[in-house]
Structure 1
Amino acid sequence: MSTATEVSALARRVRAALRERHSGAVFGDLRVLPGGHSGLTYAIEAGPVAYVVKAVPPGRRPVGRNDVLRQARILRALAGSQVPVPGVVAVDESEPAWFAMEFIDGEATEPVLDEHRLDPLLCRERMLALAEVLRNLHGTTGPRPTEPLGPAAELERWSRTMRAVPSELRPGAEELLDALAARVPESIPATLTHGDFRLGNVLCRGARPAAVVDWEIWGHGDPRIDLAWFLLFTDHRNFPRLGRAVPGLPGERELLTAYLDGHPEPPALDWFRALARTKMAAIMGHNLRRHREGIHHDPDQERLPPTIAAMIRTAHDIVARRP
C-alpha cells in the first residue's frame, strides 16, 4: 500500500511526462483502479483523455508481477500488430519505475464465471473472435525474454505450486502429477505467449476485442499452454459451484476449430488440456490456503474445493485417455 506522499510524488512524475502530449491540459489525480494484480494500477485524466498508469510499489524490486517495464516492452512490441493492445505513451525507468498507456473503453467479462447480463450470443461472438486473436499472437514475431520453457519445465513449475498446497485441499493430485510426468510430450516451436489468455483479460467493444490486457506473465514458450488454458473456459461444468451456463457458448472443439483455421491440430493437445486443469487446481488451492492461513482473508475462497477436486479428477481422466 502506497502512502499519500508516495502517490503524490508518482503523480507529479506522471503529469510531467504527459504534459508534453497535453500542453495546457488540466490533470486529475491518480486514482486506484480496482482489479489490478501486478504492481500498482492507477488511472489519470489529462483534460478529456484518460490513461492507465502501472507502477512498481515503492520499496519493492521490479521483478515478477511487479516488473511493469517488462509489460511495457511487450505492449510496445505488439503495437500495430494483429493483436490489439493499449498503446504505451510514456515510460519512466527511474525508481520506482512506471509506464502509462491508453485507457481503452470496453468490458472484460468471463462468461462462465462472472456475474453478468450479457446476451449469450454476444458472449459466443466474442469468444470466437478471440480465437483469431490468439492465433495471431502465436504467429507474431516478438521479443524472446528467456529460453522457452518446454512441457517438462511447465509441469515442474505447476507441480511445485500444487505441492505447496496442503494435501487435504488437493485430493488425487499426486497421482495426477505422476501421470503427467510419465507422458510428457515433445516440444514444438515456441511462440509469443500471454500466459493467462481468456475473455476475462480482454476488453471488448460489442463483439470485437479492443485490447488484450494483463501481460504480467507473457513469455516465449509453447503455444499449447495458451490454447489449452483458453479452451478451459468454454464449459461452466468445469467449475462446480462457481460456473454458470451460457447457452450457445462454443465448446472446446468448436473453439479449437476456430483457432486452427484449417491448420492441423497441434500434437498432444490433450496433455496440455490436463495440464491446464492442473494449473487451475494449483492456483485455486494456493488461494484457498492463503485464505485459511489468514494471509489474505477472502471467505469466497471457501467455494473452491469442489472445483479443485473436479479439475484434478478430469485432468487425470484426460491424461489417462479415459472418457
Structure 2
Amino acid sequence: MSTQTDVTRLAGRVRERLAVLHPGEPLGDLETLPGGHSGLTYSLTAGPTAYVVKAVPPGQRPVGRNDVLRQARALRALTGQVPVPGVVAVDEREPAWFAMEFVTGEAIEPVLDDHRLDAGLCRTRMLALAGVLRGLHRTGTPALDASEPLGPAAELDRWSRTMRAVPPELRVGAEELLERLAASVPEGMAPVLTHGDFRLGNVLCVGERPAAVIDWEIWGFGDPRADLGWFLLFTDHRNFPRLGHEIPGLPTEDELLAAYLDGRPAPPALDWFRALARTKMAAIMGHNLRRHREGKHHDPDQERLPPTIAAMIRTARDILG
C-alpha cells in the first residue's frame, strides 16, 4: 500500500517533469483517481491542463498489470492511429511512472452500467467503436514486446487455468466446455496488437465519438479474433442474467461484426472465439466471486454473478454445437 510519504515523493518527481512543459504555471497535487485496476492512478493539473499519472506501487515489481512503462509504450505507438490519450512524460526510475493527457468523456457499458444514455446514442457509439477496433488491428506489430504472441491455444490455456482455479460448484459444466474448446482449437491468424478488454466501458466517448481507448493493462500481440469475440459479447443483455438490462436498438452481433469487417469476409472459426469469450468471462467472474467469498476483496455485488457464470458456460457450449 502506498503511504503519504510515497505519494509526496512521487508528486515531487511528477511536478519536476511537468514544470518543464508548463514553465511558470501552478502545479496541483496528486489526486487519487477511483476505479483504477492496475498500479496507482492519479490526476494532476499543470496550469489549465489536466493529466493522468500511472505509477508502479512502491516496493512492487513492474510486471503484469503494474508494468506502466509497457502501457506507455503501447500508447505512444498507437498515437495518431487509434484514439488514445497522448503520453507526455515517462520516468523509468523506480518506482516508474508516466503521465498522459486527461481525456474528458464517458466510459459506459450500455448493457451493464447504470446510466441514462439515449438508446440511439448507445447504438451509434458501439458501431463507431467497431471501426476503432478494425483500425487497431490494422496497426501492425511493432517491436514493442519481446514475449511470444498469444495464439488460440495459448489464449485457451490462459483462461483454462483461471477457470480451474474457481471452485467446482461455481463452474458446473466448465470442464466439458474446456475439453470441447481444446479439441477444436483453430489455426491462428497473423498476430496483431490486441487490447485484451475491448468494449465501450473502456472507451471515453464525447457525444457519438470515441475519444480515447483506455485501460491498456493487458494489451498484447495475438489473434485479432480474441478481441473481436470479446467485443461482440456486450451486444446482448441476455448474456448477463441478473446483471444486464435491455438497450433497444443496440447492434446485434451480426450488425457489429459487419461494421467491423467493413465489406471484408468474415474470419474463419469465429464461433470458437465467441465461445472462448464466454469462457473468459465466466472464469473472470468466478475468480472475482471466489476472492469475495474468501474475504480477499469484499464486494457483496459479486453474489449476483452465479446466474451469469452459468449462462456463459451454457451458451459457450451451445455455440460450439
TM bin (shorter chain): over 0.9
- TM-score, normalisation: structure 2: 0.99
**Contact 1:90/1:101 (<8 A) preserved:** yes
Counterparts of 2:166 and 2:241, CA distance in 1: 20
Identity in percent: 78
Unmatched tracts of structure 1, length 5 or more = none
**Contact 1:74/1:143 (<8 A) preserved:** no
Q: Residue 147 of structure 1: CA displacement?
A: 1.9
Counterparts of 1:89 and 1:252, CA distance in 2: 37
Name 2:52's counterpart in structure 1: 52
Name 2:276's counterpart in structure 1: 275
Aligned residues: 319
- Superposition pairs for residues 194-233 of structure 1, below 5 Å? 194-233=195-234
- Whether 1:165 aligns to 2:166 is yes
Letter in 1 for 2:105: G
Letter in 1 for 2:115: H
Name 2:102's counterpart in structure 1: 103
- Superposition pairs for residues 232-311 of structure 1, below 5 Å? 232-311=233-312
| Aligned-pair Cα RMSD in Å | 0.6
Regions of 4+ moved over 6 Å: none
Counterparts of 1:9 and 1:206, CA distance in 2: 38
Name 1:133's counterpart in structure 2: 132
1:22-45 CA-to-partner distances (Å, cap 9, x unmatched) read: 011111110000011010000001
Q: Residue 47 of structure 1: CA displacement?
A: 1.3
Name 2:78's counterpart in structure 1: 78
**Contact 2:111/2:235 (<8 A) preserved:** yes
- Superposition pairs for residues 119-158 of structure 1, below 5 Å? 119-144=118-143, 145=145, 146-158=147-159
Name 2:9's counterpart in structure 1: 9
- Superposition pairs for residues 170-209 of structure 1, below 5 Å? 170-209=171-210
Name 1:66's counterpart in structure 2: 66
1:261-295 CA-to-partner distances (Å, cap 9, x unmatched) read: 00000000000000000000000000000000000
Counterparts of 1:300 and 1:143, CA distance in 2: 40
Counterparts of 1:188 and 1:297, CA distance in 2: 40
1:165-194 CA-to-partner distances (Å, cap 9, x unmatched) read: 000010100010011111111111111100
Name 1:23's counterpart in structure 2: 23
Letter in 2 for 1:297: H
Q: Residue 143 of structure 1: CA displacement?
A: 2.7
